Amino acid sequence: MSQTTKRLDAISWDEYFMGVAMLSALRSKDPNTQVGACIVSSDNKILSMGYNGFPLGCSDDEYPWNREGEDNKYFYSTHSELNAILNYRGGSLEGAKIYVTLFPCNECAKAIIQSGIKEIIYDDDKYKHTQTVIASKRMLKSAGVKTRRYRRTGRNVEVHM
């Protein structure tokens, strides 16, 4: 029998947007850390998405994925947050929010601030003791960009593909 009252277990806005960021991270070819980002307008419309990877034309099979050594991935990979900002084709990001699976580094913090994004919702903060994240938090605070940690709900979302 079909039900006539509304569903009460729909996912929340935070679950929805962090879920999209988590799904984006699955596109990353980085063997160590996969990061996803989802930029959302102040009225909850998805504006852009990104994940960490090499720039257009730089093959995932030819460029290095190692973390150490003279030639390594850090010279080439673009972070998910910057990719999400650069992927946006619609004009201004003023007043937008960014959902990201890992707290932004100092370079992404600069891009976030300059793009007009006003709030960061992050999941993991595994590099919180590094200078890049310490510097990032310092700049974000000075610039008045709000940060809050995503509260995991424990909900299991299965997608069959």
Active site residues: 81
Nearest to 136 by CA among 160, 152, 113, 118: 113
Q: Which stretch binds ligand LCLUPRNS (CB under 6 A): 5-13, 73-81, 89-97, 141-149?
A: 73-81
Residues 91-150 that bind ligand LCLUPRNS (CB under 6 A): 102-105, 108
x/- mask, ligand LCLUPRNS, residues 11-50, rule CB under 6 A, reads -------------------x-xx-x---------------
Of residues 108, 117, 120, 121, which one binds Zn ion by CB under 5 A?
Answer: 108
How many whole angstroms separate alpha carbon 36 and alpha carbon 20?
8
Residue 30's binding partner among Zn ion, ligand LCLUPRNS, none (Cβ under 5 to 8 angstroms by kind) is: ligand LCLUPRNS
Q: Which stretch binds ligand LCLUPRNS (CB under 6 A): 1-9, 14-22, 72-80, 110-118?
A: 72-80
Nearest to 102 by CA among 86, 84, 126, 67: 126
Q: Residue 7 Cβ, how far from ligand LCLUPRNS at the closest point, in Å?
A: 34
Q: Could you list the residues that contact ligand LCLUPRNS (CB under 6 A)?
A: 30, 32-33, 35, 52, 67, 73, 77, 79-81, 102-105, 108
